Each structure stands twice: as structure tokens, then as C-alpha cells.
Structure 1
């Protein structure tokens, strides 16, 4: 497995499959590069698919300094992966933690993004839940250190937003939980403290989002409650954005319903390729109900 070195000298494990325009898949907190297998198998027929393990996720390095982890750094790691593979521009697809990193990549390096897919991003963004999310993130970090990933993964994988996955695909959910049990307890704790607990709310980024020109697809599950309102907010803020809500779906969107997820992303990428994914027409004003003159 190739190893690249980031601009702050952290080693990241990368996989590179297929050829064509590049898609970089950015995994969620509970996943790793293996979480994108249904997408890599599908999209690598026509695209060059890049997956990587975030810092803190072996075989990527696990820095012991909390300052090596941040939301900004997660976005910069995407850019470092592109630089190491000599890719000028790519489609960026992220889920949850990876979705936040994808948004921030669009803010710091829009010239490097052909498009963004922001899936299942919203936890901690709601202003009324900011303090709770920060506190529970720190508690999750503590439990990873106290119990270890093998034990605590059994609890973490049963969060409310994972239940739709468990119900519709018990075998897939079990594989998800097993992969999570193999994670570094230290890396998971550091990621929770350095990234999740300290990242800014999406609502605090409204003005930057309104100025971001990158074509963006936002995807949420209708049973992933704390991503629904942030998804609507991003749709209203990002000029060239569209919102897809997957029915009877929770947080683990790309694994719960891979065929539907792949279809949504494929149609989006095709529209982007045809320059047909445009900012909202000024004549389509949300304040208007019916036209009278």
C-alpha cells in the first residue's frame, strides 16, 4: 500500500484504483478507506478512485500530539494527497467527518475541486446542540481510551443513526463494526478531541459558503436527524448546490444503500461534466409562492 507524506510530515496510507478523472473518497470517523469499497468497485470502471486513511487510522500514522489533529488539517490532508499523486483537480466525496473535510476543502482550495459530494455532514453543526456535541465527543474519546476500540466499537456502532443500517443489512453492519474494532484507540480519541470537538459549526461559515463556487451535492438520510437541517442550510447557502434525501436511511449512507448512493453521485458527476450543474437561477426565489404579474 503506497504511503504519502503530508506537508506537516505525517504518513498517510493511500489506495489508487482505475483511470480517468480522479475522485477522492474521504471516510467518516467510524470508517476507513475500506468503507468506500462499494463506491470504488463501481466508479473505478470510469474514474480514477483514490481512498486514504486519515491520520490516526493505521496503517496511516497516529500522531500523539493533539495539535496534529484539526478540521483545517483534515482538509489540508486532502490537498496533500492530491499533490503527492500529482493530481491537479479532483471530485471530492466525503461522508460525515469526511463530509466536513470536503466542505472545508472547498473553502480553502476551491481551484483544486471539480466538485464536492457532502454526505451525512451535520453533527455538532446545530447551534442548540453545540455544547452537547462537544461534551459527548470528549466522552467518546475517553471511552475509546478506557475500553479500547475492540470493546467500545460495540457501543459506538449502535448509535441511533446506525440502526437503519443494522436493520436493513445486518451483515454489512457487522462488517462495519468489525472494521471499527480494529481502529487505533489512541487515534480515535485524538481525532474526536482534535477534529470533532473543535470544528466550527457549519452555520458559522455561512458567508464563506455563499462565496464558494464549487458544484456541490449534499446527501442526507431522512432518519439521520441531526444532518437534515444542516443539509437544508448548506443547500440554501452554497450557490451551485443540490440536496438529495435518501428515504429510510441513517448515517452510513454509502454502505446502507450503495446502489442509490452511487446513482445519485454518478448523475451528479455527469451533470458537472456537462457544465449543467449551475448556481440557482435568480428567477427562482424562495420567497415567491405564486407569480401574479
Structure 2
């Protein structure tokens, strides 16, 4: 696939000693972390657009394993001391999970939110779901009506409409199919049980049931993790409640209490 230099990466705070890597959700791009980057001027922030997304749309093909290797390369070459805090949402969280399984040595802390996992291998039902989702979504993904409805579903400010539309337009049909396939079929990777680094697993209270079940799978597998629920929030709570998200991330990185609902 190539190395990290193929990816579009926004970088801020290079003079700061600790690095955070921000990994975005499927179908979007690094701009979804703008409110987080602004809130962390005291950290070195690296925000890539993942392959076949945003301004990395020409980097093909997207796979979670391939994207993970590129992010590891980014950490090894650009993060201070070859190590970083990982922050991943949805597809970005899946990439972070893959990194924890294969290269835990490059991870300082990891915050995973809205992570989808499958515990069984490919089956025809899931393949049919990928086909159905693709055929339903691909014709309407760039329309104003669909984008506005999507944003209302996740309680996201209409101020982000242009960025959402740009992101959907940058993804081709064949890229979309690959991304959906990787997202829906991602399974717990071997080696994750050896990732002995602090991990915060989070889900919104309004998130999908399979996300909540996946959070339990992660918590049972990771040796050093805690799982929390964000009351009254949904899948993209970093955009829905940026102040709460930013405080949660900062408290996690600095060892302070997490003021969310502990999942027991």
C-alpha cells in the first residue's frame, strides 16, 4: 500500500513532547477532530485522512490492516519518541484496535469509541448486508437530503454540512464498497490480549446494540482497559458534545477521574 508519506496529515504543536494520533470514522476525514485539536494546543497532534478518505482518497485500496501499518509508520517516523496516544472513532477505532494487536509498543494510551467487532467469520448474511447497505447508500450519499438527515441522526451542527458533503463526494463507489466490507467484517485480531497499555473503551448510550456488545468484547480481551457509557449521547459524541469529549480525553491522558458512567 505504501507508507505514511502517502497520507494527507494535518500536524500541530510539533514542539510539544507528547503525540496524539486522531483516527476518523468511515466515510469522513480528519476534520471531524477539529474541536479536539483546538482543545489540545499543549500536545503534538497528527491527524491523517485514512486511505480512500478525504485528501487521501487516491491511496488505494483501503484495508484496516493496511491502514494500521501506515499509521504505525507515521508514529515511528513523526511521533515523538516513536510512541503516541491513539484516539479512534468507529472505523478509526478499528484501525487503533489492529495497531494494539500488532504493534502495542508504539501506543502510550488508546481511547476507542464506537468500535464495531464481529466474533464470527464471513457468512452470507453479512455479505448480503454489505451489498444491501452499499446499494442503498451509494446512490444517495452525496445528496443534501441524505447528508442533513445523517447529521440530524447524530445531533451534529449544520455548520459541518460542507465538510460532510465534501467527504462523501471524495469517496468513489468501489472505495465505499471496500470500506463497508472492512468495517462490517472486522473481528477481534489475534494478539490483542497482549496489548498491555491503558485503554479507554467508550460507547454512547444511544449507540447501536452491536457497538455495546463489541465494547464488552474489547473489555474482556484487553488486559488493561476500562469501559464507560456516555449518557444521552450517540455514536459521534466528539462532535455532539466536544467539551465533554475533550475533558474525558484529557483526564484519561493525565490520569484523572473519568466523569462518565462506568459500564459494569
Same fold (TM over 0.5): yes
Structure 1 counterpart of 2:84: 90
Asked if structure 2 preserves the Cα contact closer than 8 Å seen for 1:6 and 1:80, the reply is no
CA shift at 1:10, angstroms?
7.5
For residue 54 of structure 1, give the secondary structure of its aligned residue in structure 2. Answer: coil
Contact 1:134–1:196 under 8 Å retained in 2: no
CA distance in 1, matches of 2:126, 2:242: 28
Q: Which has the larger radius of gyration?
A: 1
User: CA–CA distance in 1 between the matches of 2:107 and 2:93?
Assistant: 14
What is the Cα deviation at residue 120 of structure 1? 0.6
CA–CA distance in structure 1, aligned partners of residues 183 and 147 of structure 2: 15
Partner of 2:8: 13
2:97 is equivalent to residue 103 of structure 1: yes
Give the total of aligned pairs.
254
Root-mean-square deviation over aligned CA pairs: 3.2
Note if 1:150 corresponds to 2:142.
yes
Closer/same/farther in 2, CA of residues 92 and 196 from structure 1, 3 Å limit: same
Q: Aligned in 2, Cα 1:228/1:173: closer, same or farther, shift over 3 Å? A: farther
Q: Is the 8 A contact 2:27 2:53 kept in 1?
A: no
> Any gaps of 5 or more consecutive residues in structure 1?
278-285, 287-293
Gaps of 5+ in 2: 259-263
* Residue matched to 1:188: 176
CA distance in 2, matches of 1:85, 1:10: 10
**SS of 2:233 mapped into structure 1:** coil
Query: Which position in structure 1 is the counterpart of 2:207?
Result: 224
Give the equivalent residue in structure 2 for 1:165. Answer: 154
Partner residue, 2:108: 114
Q: How much does 1:23 deviate?
A: 0.2
Q: Distance between the aligned counterparts of 1:209 and 1:261, measured in 2?
A: 25
For residue 198 of structure 1, report the CA deviation from its aligned partner: 4.2
In 1: Cα distance, 2:91 partner to 2:122 partner: 17
Rate the CA distance shift 1:12–1:63 in 2: closer, same or farther, 3 A. closer
Runs (4+) of structure 1 moved beyond 6 Å?
A: none
